[in-house]
Amino acid sequence: MKAVVCKEFGPPENLVVEDVDAPIAGPGEVLIDIKAAPITFPDTLIIENRYQFKAAPPFIPGNEVAGVVSAVGEGVTDFAVGDDVLGGSSVGGFAEQVAVPASRLRALPEGLGYAEATGFGYAHGTGYYGLVHRGNLQPGETLLVLGAAGSVGLAAIELGKVLGARVIAAASSDEKLALCTKIGADETINYTTEDLKVRAKELTEGKGVNVVYDAVGGDKAEAALRALAWRGRFLVIGFTAGIPRIPLNLALLKGCDILGVFWGAAQGKEPELFHEGARKIDQLAAEGKLNPHVTRRYALDEVSQALRDMIDRKIIGKVVVEP
């Protein structure tokens, strides 16, 4: 089968596309003919050995897939050949086939195509766990999303609206913010041309926002923390702009909570919340309340360019590989 292979750690340009042996479904595993796999920020890190999850070269990157079951291993009873499925793969997604433990799969959410459904685990799963289980976001509260036009950010906008919040999307360009508005954001802040803290305070009549969903970090994190209201919640999601250092007196002054959100670890440590989130997201999709937007579809040969564009902040929205 054709696959994108990381033969040694390095930049996206080092990836090669070649024919490799097709995987087989071992005990407890399901073999999937991949129809779509999302390109995500962790893919840019894992190929450089800079991510918390480590893979040993040679490996095929790509951490989530949607496709059709083509074989099941010994002991698998929940899935059968021909089923449409979605699930986490850790690695192996940028290929024509992958073998995944059955425990990491679920049925493709009703009413969605393969490409549209990808990222439901990665982005919407993180969003639900972060906003509901960690952030306790309430109807009528104000949610500020940083990196809002990325796949994780857009999912937070969608879920914030479903949960009844007023959503302020923050991103680096008007083109990115136009997509955020299309997805449902009530207000936008261009943090390249506007002062993030000042504008967020203006938009909340000086009170500040109730919840920050920070998928960016870097110098945006402190500005966003300073824009929190009394008893606000700051959700630590990601560090695309680097890992910030925060003066802790800000937490005291605002009586706020700074909450780490590690959705991948929650799968093992809080499986009941993990599965509740997946069920809820699938239900919302079936009710037509989530409409994940796919901005661009790439072939396997284009993965390296897509990852370079992601590092260079040229990607807008969710992009997928269709082998």
Ligand X SMILES: NC(=O)c1ccc[n+]([C@@H]2O[C@H](COP(=O)([O-])OP(=O)(O)OC[C@H]3O[C@@H](n4cnc5c(N)ncnc54)[C@H](OP(=O)(O)O)[C@@H]3O)[C@@H](O)[C@H]2O)c1
Nearer to ligand X, 23 or 150 (CB): 150
Nearer to ligand X, 97 or 172 (CB): 172
Q: Identify any residues that bridge with 142 across adjacent strands, giving them in sequence order.
A: 166
Nearer to ligand X, 40 or 90 (CB): 40
Instruction: By CB under 6 A, tell whether 293 contacts ligand X.
Output: no
- Over the Cα atoms of the chain, what is R_g? 19
Amino acid at 37: A
Instruction: By CB under 6 A, tell whether 215 contacts ligand X.
Output: yes
Nearer to ligand X, 28 or 42 (CB): 42
Only one of the segments 6-14, 84-92, 108-116, 146-154 lies at the binding site for ligand X (rule: CB under 6 A); that segment is 146-154
257-262: list long-range contacts, CB under 8 Å, 24+ apart. Answer: 257/231, 257/232, 257/233, 258/225, 258/234, 259/134, 259/135, 259/233, 259/234, 259/235, 260/134, 260/236, 261/126, 261/129, 261/130, 261/134, 261/235, 261/236, 261/237
**Shortest CB 126 distance to ligand X, Å:** 4
Closest by CA position to 160, among listed 150, 172, 148: 148
| Degrees to nearest 5, angle at CA 156 with 154 and 158 | 70
> CA 63 → CA 28, 124, 179, 188, 276, distances in Å?
19, 14, 25, 30, 21
Indicate the DSSP class of residue 6. Answer: B
Binding mask of the shown chain, residues 251 to 290, with x at each position contacting ligand X by CB under 6 A? ----------xxxx--------------------------
Site for ligand X in 225-254 (CB under 6 A): 237-241
**Shortest CB 313 distance to ligand X, Å:** 4
Only one of the segments 23-31, 144-152, 156-164, 278-286 lies at the binding site for ligand X (rule: CB under 6 A); that segment is 144-152
H-state helical runs in 119-259: 125-128, 151-162, 174-183, 196-203, 218-226, 249-254
Nearer to ligand X, 207 or 275 (CB): 275
**Shortest CB 125 distance to ligand X, Å:** 8
Cis ω before 244 (30° cut-off from 0): no
Cβ within 8 Å of residue 262, ≥6 positions away? none
Nearer to ligand X, 36 or 216 (CB): 216
> What phi-psi label fits residue 110: left (phi over 0), alpha (psi between -120 and 50 degrees) or beta?
beta
Only one of the segments 4-12, 110-118, 147-155, 245-253 lies at the binding site for ligand X (rule: CB under 6 A); that segment is 147-155
The correct pick among 32, 40, 96, 211 for binding ligand X (CB under 6 A) is: 40
Site for ligand X in 57-96 (CB under 6 A): none
Binding mask of the shown chain, residues 168 to 197, with x at each position contacting ligand X by CB under 6 A? ---xx---x---------------------
Instruction: By CB under 6 A, tell whether 213 contacts ligand X.
Output: no
Instruction: Record the tokens describing residue 34, joined without a space.
Output: 């991949």
Nearer to ligand X, 31 or 137 (CB): 137
Residues of the shown chain interacting with ligand X in the complex, contacts defined by CB under 6 A: 40-42, 122, 126, 147, 149-153, 171-172, 176, 215-216, 237-241, 261-264, 310, 313, 315
